[in-house]
Amino acid sequence: MLGAEVVAKAIYASSCPNCGGPISSVRLELGLPCSSCIPDLDYEEAKLISELPPGERFKKLVKIISRESEGSYSILAQLHEELDRFEKFFKKCVGKELWSLQRTWAYRMLSGDSFAITAPTGVGKTTLLLIYSLYEATEGTKVLMLVPTESLLRQSLERLKNYASILGKNLRIIGYTSKDPKKTREEQLMKIEEGDFDILIITTSFLSRRFDVLKNKVFGLIVVDDADSLLKDSAN
């Protein structure tokens, strides 16, 4: 028990962030789980733990939470560990750290959220999406990327292959454009039909025209760059 819990302003039912049980206002303010999860915790130690960065705090708490009470904090600790791995992956690709905004988006992606990124040009949305797609592909996930133009498709294809080369990964990254020679287009279509790829990049126009070759494909991740263009086209 925390010494300060004798003067807790309130006990909140079903509010422990770890087990979902009752918790005092003092522990909530400190960002800690309830007394059932961690029965014996000195107040000064609790304050020190509460001041740690989120990732370190979750890892520390998971080590001292009673085994019978392992819950959400264990999941959060694992998520922050994966975020650390992704940050190293990102830095190896581009030679730079994630920006604060990119880190927030990456956290949501890694947690499995499906969401739209709305931000001005130049904040690193496309770079993050490309590297996250590559990260998932290295984990065995089949990835579909949708882009609005063939020009952007070619740029994305070149950047992905360059990142894969930096990482030393032999990934099957393909894209279909109408300006490729006929033989190349036929080869790419065959690969798409056979699922012979790790990352597939297509335009929104290709999606509406050749949905027949995609309708039975299962993707673990779908990334849409410029979702507005996809939604505004009635053919889609």
What dotted CATH number matches 119-232? 3.40.50.300
pLDDT class of 70 with cuts at 50, 70, 90 = low
What was the pLDDT predicted at 132? 98
- Give tens-digit pLDDT for 32-53: 899 888 888 888 888 899 899 8
What was the pLDDT predicted at 103? 95
Strands 221-224 and 23-24: unpaired
pTM of the model as a whole: 0.81
pLDDT class of 236 with cuts at 50, 70, 90 = low
109: left (phi over 0), alpha (psi -120 to 50) or beta: alpha
Question: H-helix or E-strand containing 143?
Answer: strand 143-147
Q: What is the mean pLDDT of residues 14-22?
A: 91
pLDDT class of 6 with cuts at 50, 70, 90 = very low
pLDDT class of 67 with cuts at 50, 70, 90 = low
Please give the Cα distance from 157 to 152 (Å, whole number).
8
- Give tens-digit pLDDT for 161-177: 999 999 999 999 999 99
What was the pLDDT predicted at 102? 96
- Give tens-digit pLDDT for 93-108: 999 999 999 999 999 9
First to last CA, the chain: 58
- DSSP annotation of 135 reads H
What was the pLDDT predicted at 71? 72
